[in-house]
Amino acid sequence: MSTLTARVDLPPSPRSVPAARHVVREALLAWRAPQDAGDVALLVTEVVANVVDHVGGGSVLSLELEYSDGWLRIAVSDGSAIRPVVGELRGDQPRGRGMQIVDAIADHWGVEDVEGGKRVWFVLAPGRGPVV
């Protein structure tokens, strides 16, 4: 099977979160990817929102998608070298669970250095249900 890819650059603003979900949903529909749309949307929301919350303006957020042999890899690059962490759950904090969600749902995830920042990526295996 060939590898299908897509990339879009977005500003690190709150409006980019639903825009990123839309781009991913449309690509997965076109590619007939088997991953669960709800899982994918949730993971994209978390990694893009992390950039919006922790990197902010002055940077560009790059959303990258790759689909090959049923596997889906999504990555978000930004202009910050600060790596995300899987934080401890605390009942008094209404936020901060994003990377725990990524860790729980994705088959694999990680962070790699790129020129001028980092790339946070996750991978979902085939067979997670149809994209709706």
- Condensed to tens digits (0 to 9), the pLDDT of residues 75-95 reads 999 988 888 766 665 555 555
Q: Is residue 54 included in any domain, yes or no?
A: yes
125: Cβ–Cβ under 8 A, 6 or more apart, which residues? 70, 71, 107
Q: Which domain holds residue 14?
A: 4-124
Which residues partner with 112 through β-bridges? 119
95 domain-assigned:
yes
SS3 49: helix
* CATH code of 11's domain: 3.30.565.10
* 37-54 and 98-105 helices, crossing angle to 10°: 150
Number of domains comprising the chain: 1
Residue 40 is assigned to a structural domain of this protein:
yes
pTM, two decimal places: 0.87
Give 51-68 pLDDT, tens digit per residue: 888 776 677 899 999 999
Report the distance separating Cα 110 and Cα 32, nearest Å: 25
In a domain, 132, yes or no: no
